[in-house]
Amino acid sequence: MIDLRSDTLTQPTPAMREAMAHAQVGDDVYGEDPSVNTLEARVAALLGKPAGLFVPTGVMGNLLAVLAHCRRGDEVIMGDRSHMFLNEGGAPSVLGGTAARTVPTAPTGELLDLAGAIRGENIHFPRTGLICLENTHNYAGGLVLDAAYMAEVAALGLPVHLDGARLFNAAIAAGVPVSTLAKDATSVMVCFSKGLGAPVGSMVVGPAPFILEARHWRKKLGGGMRQAGVLAAAALHALDHHVDRLAEDHAHARQLAVGLAAIPGVRLAQPRVDTNIVIVDVARPAAPVVEALALEGVQVVGVGPTLIRFVTHLGIGAQDVPEALGRVARALR
């Protein structure tokens, strides 16, 4: 099987497992896990923010950001094709009493009509508590939002939370430090369990009072972990060894996109391939195509009635790309 369903499917490498086995640990609820403390300080510094909080998942990180930024009844502006809106179970509404105010998403991942969605002060209105952006943008095909756009959104004057599950991919693709893409967000969530190849773990960073609030909420949600240093060690190893190599995943995705677009009946559903995600339109129901591909030994996911997503990652080698393309062509013949 060539598994292109997601970069969440990576296996920890032997060297990463070694680092985990030798991690120094303590009780992180007491703030005494040295590996977690190192990771929180390192990632906060990397992203140019005062403080960080290690969390088990990206979903929890995004949820904590909403809970810490907003009050009950606030509206949270997010894209209608954002992961926070589509794939997180409505958690900010369920657990935070906030409402998702969706705005349309450009094919390149930027939010449209943002200024018009911000509420003015009026006793009848909910308050706008937060704007959420996503970089790279998953369902825009892993496209990168540039720093100039981030600055434009920040200039609207509201707190901005950035779902940066794949922010390291964005930084490598844009050739800028990750802090450049984080600069105009008030808070940022990054994942170690996507392209970076760690088995578990994400981080929320932002101002110290915000992180303290998020820490309270993490405990209430049951996310206070104990000897979490074994997981932090995997993330630290990923930061040391798996960031620059994301360029390989991006090159594989470009190669894949060129090959896929040459297959009759397949069209690229995104304007560019910036990073490790390729979404194609197969102009027929996606589900049977996904099944046919699996029978040929290529795993992918359907992300729309006729849309299929391919994601390259640490577990995909150079030889896998032409092999996958051959299998896709056979399946679609």
> C-beta of 97: minimal distance to ligand TLP in Å?
21
Task: Return the residues of window 1-30 that contact ligand TLP according to CB under 6 A.
Answer: 6, 8
Task: Return the residues of window 257-296 that contact ligand TLP according to CB under 6 A.
Answer: none
Task: Return the residues of window 157-176 that contact ligand TLP according to CB under 6 A.
Answer: 163, 165
Our CB check for ligand TLP shows the closer of 94 and 262 to be: 94
Q: Report DSSP state, residue 196.
A: T
Distances (CA, A) of 259 to 170, 262, 326: 23, 5, 9
Rounded to 5°, the CA angle 63-66-72 comes to 115
Neighbours of 305 (CB within 10 A): 10
Rounded to 5°, the CA angle 160-166-169 comes to 120
Our CB check for ligand TLP shows the closer of 24 and 299 to be: 299
Determine the interface stretch with ligand TLP among 25-33, 53-61, 96-104, 322-330 (rule: CB under 6 A). Answer: 53-61
117 binds ligand TLP (CB under 6 A): no
> C-beta of 105: minimal distance to ligand TLP in Å?
13
> C-beta of 172: minimal distance to ligand TLP in Å?
16
The one among 105, 138, 275, 312 contacting ligand TLP by CB under 6 A:
138
Task: Return the residues of window 59-88 that contact ligand TLP according to CB under 6 A.
Answer: 59, 83, 87
Distance from the Cα of residue 209 to its chain's centroid: 24
Cα separation, 136 vs 144, whole angstroms: 5
191 binds ligand TLP (CB under 6 A): yes
Put residue 305 in one of left, alpha, beta given phi > 0 → left and psi -120 to 50 → alpha.
alpha
- Residue entry with tokens 């060297």: 15
> C-beta of 87: minimal distance to ligand TLP in Å?
5
Contact 204, 44 (CB under 8 A): no
The residues that touch ligand TLP, with contacts defined as CB under 6 A, are 6, 8, 57-59, 83, 87, 134, 138, 163, 165, 191, 193, 202
